[in-house]
Amino acid sequence: RGGGLVEIRDSEACPYYCATIIRGVKVAPSPRWLARRLEQIGLRSRNNIVDITNFILHSYGQPLHAFDLNSLSGGRIVVHSEGGSIKALNQLDYRLEPGMLAIGDASRPVAVAGVMGGLDSSVTDSTTDILLEAAYFNPASIRKTSKLLQLSSDSSYRYERGIDPGNVKRAAEYAIALILELAGGRIDRSEEAGRMPGSPKIVNLRPKRANAMLG
């Protein structure tokens, strides 16, 4: 589905994907408040872009990923399950068998979808343009890939248990606002592909009953 900035070739494993290009960012150390928030939960501050995605992940439960746009062949994203190989952020090489969901550019996988990004497309101090990923992945697909590769992460932990579809766009918008504030730059383009699954469920809550059960 799609053929512009984003193309989804496996809509069952990836029903929805949004990519936002932000140009002219300045990758630098995070402000103290952001670095401290991450340090308080045992994470090491890396840089303002990566820290923002981690902050959103742990604050709102929505995994996000930032790619160095200039490292993406063709400057586009192709979501597929066609196999390939990748050197992940942990500096280990992985072979993706057909059926394992990957985030690719025009020629190769650049991330294990919902699990871990690739080293070659990661944000570095020299990055000036980024592509921010916000997506909804099928929990079973992520769980299967993570298990087969014996590779897990904070992102896969959440994706394989099911994230809130209604939170994807809101989390992405907050991340974009923080990036523009802390790293500068400008939004060049944003594109959505696919469709968000399901609809919000109505839950009846009786405060008196809840209080009685909670004590």
> What b/e sequence results for 8-24 when a residue is b if at least 16 CB atoms lie within 10 Å of its CB, and e otherwise?
bbbbebbbbbbbbbbee
Looking at residue 104, its pLDDT comes to: 98
Q: What is the token pair recorded at 36?
A: 């401290």
| CA angle (72 as vertex; 21, 68 as ends), nearest 5 | 55
Looking at residue 1, its pLDDT comes to: 44
Taking 50 as the pLDDT cut, the residues of the chain under it are 1-2
What is the residue whose two structure tokens read 């939004």? Answer: 187
The reported pTM is: 0.90
Looking at residue 210, its pLDDT comes to: 94
Distance of CA 6 to the CA centre of its chain: 14
Alpha carbon distance 163, 168 (integer Å): 8
Looking at residue 197, its pLDDT comes to: 85
Looking at residue 200, its pLDDT comes to: 73
Looking at residue 2, its pLDDT comes to: 44
Q: Name every residue whose Cβ is closer than 8 Å to that of residue 174 and which is 6 or more positions away in sequence.
A: 56, 60
Looking at residue 50, its pLDDT comes to: 98
